[in-house]
Structure 1
Amino acid sequence: MGSKDNKKIIGLLNEIIEMEISAVVRYLHYALMIKGPNRIPIVKWFHDQANEGYAHASLIGEKITALGGHPSLKVSPVPETKTHKVLDILKESLEFEERALDKYKELLRHVGDDIALEELVREQIRNETEHIEECMKMLDTTH
């Protein structure tokens, strides 16, 4: 992989780590804001999503440093919509997960011969796709 490709990949990985760290903040906030009779299972699901965001950020950060890069300290902005109804939060989650999926797919187009990176990215694409499917099921919708 040439240095130009490496620079592009590290740049995309840094965008992804910023999104994954943002997911931690986002999902923790959502978990804290859920109210109502179905609170307990939904809060657990959001905590699980926050923990997964942390795990993904750590994994991506390790890959950035393995490629000679420096993990970003930035966090993608988490908009405060002040709308904390469960369905609204799930719609926001779906939109966020779709953007993350798009970013991983963009990265996949640049992995070249790096099979380990390709496998990592494909696994993350699978994870993000499952999150999208889960959000859609909770929203009782399909694309």
Structure 2
Amino acid sequence: MTKKEKATEGNEKIVALLNRIMEYELAGVVRYTHYSLMVFGYNRLPIICWLKGQAEESLAHAHKAGEMITQLGGHPSLGIGPLLETHKHDIGDILRESLDHEAAALQLYRDLFEEVEGVSIMLEEYARSMIYTEELHQGEVNKMLRKPGDVSVFSAREHK
């Protein structure tokens, strides 16, 4: 296999990963928008504001992934990642689902980093910055799932 063929094959794999990321982030837009419409109760306003912000951020992340795809000569997907409707709209359920969503997104960015490490500084830095952002999101949601005054990290296994 020639160097050019290896590079083309590598780019195809990277573009496929970026398309999965883009689809997953677009699913996040739908998910967080839906959640923001399903919150009721006294604390509704700050929670829906946070959820709308998450939807906007997911859209920005999808756009970034699309820009990387086109920079590599790829074609951005028109697909959308998996959407889960559990019909559970308690804020705790929403946050736990959000934590799962963030964990899956984080894994996609880690997969991308592994694929591009040593191949492209630009893509490495993109993946690294997105991993940082997703880890921050996970920490934020984790803190939201804790009871007031509880400094221990939330564990879904302990709360099932």
TM-score normalised by the shorter chain: which range applies? over 0.9
- Are residue 142 (structure 1) and residue 148 (structure 2) matched? no
Q: Deviation at 1:77?
A: 2.1
Identity of aligned residues (%): 48
Hey, what does 1:106 align to over in structure 2?
111
Q: Which runs of 4+ in 1 moved over 2 A?
A: none
Instruction: Verify: 1:119 aligned to 2:125, yes or no.
Output: yes
| Equivalent position to 1:52, from 47, 51, 57 | 57
Question: CA–CA distance in 2 between the matches of 1:108 and 1:5?
Answer: 13
Amino acid at match of 1:5: G
TM superposition score normalised by structure 2: 0.87
SS of corresponding position for 1:130:
helix
Counterpart CA distance in 2 for 1:96 and 1:35 is 22
TM-score scaled to structure 1, two decimals?
A: 0.97
1:128 deviation in Å?
Answer: 0.5
State the distance in 1 between where 2:63 and 2:142 align.
Answer: 27
| 2:95 matched residue in structure 1 | 90
Q: Report the count of equivalent residues.
A: 143
Aligned to 2:69: 64
CA offset digits 1:77-104 (Å, max 9, x no partner): 2111110000000000000000000010
1:2 shift after superposition? 1.0
Give the residue type in structure 2 aligned to 1:127: T
Kindly state the Cα deviation for residue 62 of structure 1 after the two structures are TM-superposed: 0.6
Amino acid at match of 1:129: E
Distance in 2 separating the partners of 1:86 and 1:5:
42
CA distance in 1, matches of 2:95, 2:83: 14
Structure 1 residue runs without a partner (length 5+): none
The higher radius of gyration belongs to: 2
Q: From 12, 27, 34, give the equivalent of 2:17.
A: 12
Matched, 1:128 2:139: no
